[in-house]
């Protein structure tokens, strides 16, 4: 066996407790993030078995999926949501798990607060009952979403059983062009691979475009790994990563930091390491992207026309069903289509950098009258930064309001639902039928594209509104 290893192999192999012949690996989990929706049945499971949480200190609970994004100081009105939130709090208290509930200063979307407080660390294995757990791969961690049965396994034994995924590397060189953001890079990759193109693989993103990205940008890219079917995606940690992680509440300090660094500095893919699949794209060709269909793979450069059914992979029936739902036609241009809602937020694009980008476009302009805009920070920390950096003033001046943190209209479990038939430009991660509310229609895009739509009231190329750099 070759001594050379990929980044993924290094982290995975060092966490295997036990290998089962013709079966999964028993994988040790360093960090378990828990939220209110996918955990109650798991807690019920260990309660029925009368077993404790094995490592409450490696388990972190926050409320995000169900929470309202206005008036968070009031009791949650929806009785079912309120019940789920109460259950999480009770379970966390009973088992000694730290709980950042509604109203807590550290509350926010699980995949936003994990990195913010240093729970997310390079070389760790991180799971959560949420598919966008892949976000944490931005730090060189193996992070992926799990089902509730697996949440129960991790609570009970700090392990899950997973067959080891295959290895894929996606190389993108070149620089991001004007108006292109990490979200566009991710939507571009998914449009090339389709939503099942990376199923069975764990992806490593490599190349100049990712090296040059901020940690926030890397999180956006890794977040969307699941949308191409991959279990997760990761980027080798570098100085930027260590700089981001250093000094946060849960990161190692003093001698422990030096010990951790000694491990983290080994986390890269060896030169001769072999991937099961390797893809390379030219980053300079990526444009601002927008989706036109009902899965994240149905995306294209914003100035393109919707492809004809015979030009796309997959069955024509499924494709036409999708366009019918969207009320679009093959060959339509997306530009100029009137929109009704704009959503800025989610674990994909709810970080400070996303609000900076949004503000850069709306500054000095006004929100279009036909647009309802929901601007939802990913956490209280993001919310504070928005205020401190003066972004809130820009937003307010332009006629926008800032809401309180949570998953919000990304999956519309709370009241932030796009009404049936209405068209939303959304910085979230899924444009599935009804994802943002029954009958809602979603166009996935970057914060820049969302901002351009918010001030013009229609699908607009953000490059037209960007100040020329001198």
- Please state, in angstroms and as integers, the Cα–Cα distance from residue 436 to each residue in 28, 211, 396, 411, 441, following that order: 35, 33, 25, 5, 8
- Tokens at 1, concatenated: 């066996």
DSSP 228: G
Q: Rounded to the nearest whole angstrom, what is the least distance from the CB of residue 293 to another protein in the complex?
A: 10
Q: In which element (H, E) is residue 85 found?
A: helix 79-95
Q: Rounded to the nearest whole angstrom, what is the least distance from the CB of residue 80 to another protein in the complex?
A: 4
Q: For residue 453, count CB atoms less than 10 angstroms from its CB and return exposed for 0-12, middle for 13-18, buried for 19 or more.
A: buried
Q: Rounded to the nearest whole angstrom, what is the least distance from the CB of residue 318 to another protein in the complex?
A: 4
DSSP 134: G
Q: Rounded to the nearest 10 degrees, what angle do helices 182-193 and 215-223 cross at?
A: 20
Q: Rounded to the nearest whole angstrom, what is the least distance from the CB of residue 263 to another protein in the complex?
A: 5
Nearer to another protein, 54 or 465 (CB): 54
Nearer to another protein, 164 or 365 (CB): 164
Nearer to another protein, 226 or 339 (CB): 226
Nearer to another protein, 115 or 462 (CB): 115
Q: Rounded to the nearest whole angstrom, what is the least distance from the CB of residue 312 to another protein in the complex?
A: 11
Q: Rounded to the nearest whole angstrom, what is the least distance from the CB of residue 429 to another protein in the complex?
A: 10
Q: Rounded to the nearest whole angstrom, what is the least distance from the CB of residue 84 to another protein in the complex?
A: 6
Separation between Cα atoms, residue 191 and residue 197, nearest integer Å: 10
Our measurement of the distance from residue 418's CA atom to the centroid of its chain's CA atoms, rounded to an integer in Å, reads 20
Nearer to another protein, 97 or 448 (CB): 97
Nearer to another protein, 81 or 398 (CB): 81
- Tokens at 446, concatenated: 């970057």
DSSP 236-248: ---HHHHHHHTT-
Nearer to another protein, 198 or 452 (CB): 198
> Is residue 429 within 8 Å of 182, Cβ to Cβ?
no
Q: Rounded to the nearest whole angstrom, what is the least distance from the CB of residue 141 to another protein in the complex?
A: 9
Question: Would you say how long the chain is, in residues?
Answer: 470
Radius of gyration of the chain (CA): 21
Separation between Cα atoms, residue 26 and residue 441, nearest integer Å: 41
> Is residue 426 within 8 Å of 450, Cβ to Cβ?
yes
Nearer to another protein, 193 or 206 (CB): 193
Strands 16-19 and 25-28: antiparallel
């Amino acid at each position: 066996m070759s001594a050379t290893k990929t980044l993924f192999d290094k982290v995975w192999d060092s966490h295997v407790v036990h290998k089962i012949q013709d079966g999964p690996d028993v994988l040790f989990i360093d960090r378990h993030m828990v939220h209110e929706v996918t955990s109650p049945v798991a807690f019920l499971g260990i309660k029925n078995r009368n077993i404790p949480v094995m490592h409450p200190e490696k388990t972190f609970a926050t409320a995000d999926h169900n929470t309202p994004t206005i008036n968070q100081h009031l009791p949650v009105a929806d009785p079912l949501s309120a019940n789920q939130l109460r259950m999480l709090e009770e379970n966390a208290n009973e088992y000694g798990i730290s709980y950042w509930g509604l109203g807590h200063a550290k509350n926010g979307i699980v995949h936003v607060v994990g990195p913010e407080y240093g729970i997310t660390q390079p070389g760790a294995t991180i799971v959560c009952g949420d598919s966008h757990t892949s976000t944490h791969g931005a730090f060189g961690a193996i992070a992926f979403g799990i089902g509730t049965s697996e949440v129960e396994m991790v609570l009970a034994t700090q392990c899950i059983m997973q067959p080891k995924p295959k290895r894929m590397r996606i190389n993108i060189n070149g620089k991001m062009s004007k108006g292109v953001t990490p979200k566009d890079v991710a939507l571009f990759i998914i449009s090339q691979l389709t939503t099942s193109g990376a199923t069975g693989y764990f992806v490593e993103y490599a190349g100049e475009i990712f090296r040059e990205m901020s940690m926030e940008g890397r999180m956006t890219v890794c977040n969307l790994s699941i949308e191409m079917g991959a279990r997760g995606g990761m980027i080798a940690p570098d100085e930027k990563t260590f700089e981001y992680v250093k000094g946060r509440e849960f990161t190692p300090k003093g001698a422990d930091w030096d010990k951790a660094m000694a491990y983290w500095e080994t986390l890269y893919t060896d030169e001769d390491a072999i991937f099961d699949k390797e893809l390379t794209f030219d980053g300079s060709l990526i444009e601002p992207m927008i989706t036109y269909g009902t899965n994240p793979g149905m995306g294209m450069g914003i100035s393109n026309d919707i492809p004809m059914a015979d030009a796309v992979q997959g069955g024509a029936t499924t494709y036409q069903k999708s366009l019918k739902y969207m009320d679009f036609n093959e060959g339509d241009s997306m530009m100029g289509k009137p929109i009704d809602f704009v959503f800025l937020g989610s674990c994909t694009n709810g970080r400070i950098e996303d609000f900076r980008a949004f503000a850069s476009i709306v500054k000095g302009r006004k929100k279009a009258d036909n647009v309802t805009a929901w601007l939802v920070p990913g956490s209280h920390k993001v919310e504070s930064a928005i205020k401190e950096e003066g972004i809130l003033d820009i937003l307010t001046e332009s006629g926008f309001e800032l809401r309180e943190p949570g998953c919000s209209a990304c999956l519309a479990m709370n009241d932030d639902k796009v009404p049936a038939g209405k068209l939303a430009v959304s910085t979230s991660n899924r444009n599935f039928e009804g994802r943002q509310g029954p009958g809602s229609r979603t166009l996935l895009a970057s914060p820049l594209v969302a901002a351009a739509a918010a001030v013009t009231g229609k699908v607009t190329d953000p490059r037209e509104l960007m100040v020329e750099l001198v």
